[in-house]
Amino acid sequence: MSLRIGDTAPNFTIASQKGEITLYDWAGDSWVFFFSHPADFTPVCTTEMGRTAQLAAQFEKRNTKPLGLSTDTVEEHVKWIEDVNDTQNCDLQFPILADAHHKVAQLYDMIHPGESETAAVRSVFIIDPDRKIRLTMTYPMSVGRNFDEILRVIDALQSSDRHMIATPADWLPGEKVIIPPSVTDAQAEGQFPQGWEEIRPYLRLTEVQ
Ligand code: BEZ
């Protein structure tokens, strides 16, 4: 059975090119951007790994640790990372799990036999510091992920936790947010003293910092 939003992220211990990783210990108080890719030494994956490495400061700003996975070995990861750094002009420092025996890929349902019997698809799990899965995305092997969107959803999740709000379509940090319908106007007065714009009784927009 596949993992769903709200589920506890299963813990695991497995090798990476940065040494053995036990998810819960390694994550500590951070959020985790856990993402799988089909294979080392492949073109789309090389660009995705490079992009993640280039965005290291952006992930750090959001208290989020990137964690990659592919069904290859530590030795292959180490050689491939040299290529990633060379071709993508980066310095990849985050761990990539070496899941050659599919232990974690099976646990997180990352192998979709319609795509491949042996390689992981492009799964994303955003895991919060309470170890809850807060967002999942699944991309096919042929489509590289949009890393602006990955940063945006982390921003949206963290903002919704901080302010108890929801975010509208295409929201970006700094834009107006939504007061959830579960919050009555009387409650909203205490929670949002800055006020709000009521477009419909169920659609109220406000500003948060
Ligand atoms: C790639 O990363 O380029 C890739 C991997 C597996 C299938 C297709 C593309």
Q: Which residues are catalytic?
A: 45
Distance CA 120, CA 99 (A): 10
Ligand 1 contact, 15 CB (< 6 A): no
- Which atom of ligand 1 is found nearest the CA of 37? 2
Share of the chain above pLDDT 90, in %: 99
Average pLDDT over residues 46-70: 98
Calculate how far, in angstroms, residue 105's C-alpha sits from the geometric centre of ligand 1. 17
DSSP type of residue 189: H
For ligand 1, pick from 35, 44, 69 the residue to mutate: most ligand atoms within 8 Å of CB.
Answer: 44
Sign, Cα dihedral of 51, 53, 55, 58:
positive
In terms of C-beta density within 10 A (0-12 exposed, 13-18 middle, 19 or more buried), how is residue 109 classed? Answer: middle
The answer to whether residues 121 and 139 touch, using CB atoms and an 8 Å cutoff, is yes
pLDDT in tens, 86-95: 999 999 999 9
Angle at 40 between CA 136 and CA 20, to 5 degrees: 75
* Domains located in the chain, CATH noted: 13-146 (3.40.30.10), 164-206 (3.30.1020.10)
Q: Look at residues 114, 116, 156, 132 and name the one whose alpha carbon lies nearest to residue 36.
A: 116
Calculate how far, in angstroms, residue 144's C-alpha sits from the geometric centre of ligand 1. 9
pLDDT in tens, 6-27: 999 999 999 999 999 999 999 9
Amino acid at 30: S
pLDDT in tens, 123-136: 999 999 999 999 99
Tell me what pLDDT residue 1 has: 66
- Parallel/antiparallel/unpaired status of strands 31-36 and 21-22: unpaired
Instruction: List beta partners, residue 135.
Output: 126
pLDDT at position 48 over 80? yes
Calculate how far, in angstroms, residue 124's C-alpha sits from the geometric centre of ligand 1. 16
The residue whose CA has the least distance to atom 1 of ligand 1 is: 44
Ligand 1 contact, 38 CB (< 6 A): yes
- Confidence at 55, pLDDT banded by 50, 70, 90: very high
Calculate how far, in angstroms, residue 188's C-alpha sits from the geometric centre of ligand 1. 48
Ligand 1 contact, 42 CB (< 6 A): yes
Calculate how far, in angstroms, residue 136's C-alpha sits from the geometric centre of ligand 1. 20
Ligand 1 contact, 43 CB (< 6 A): yes
Ligand 1 contact, 39 CB (< 6 A): yes
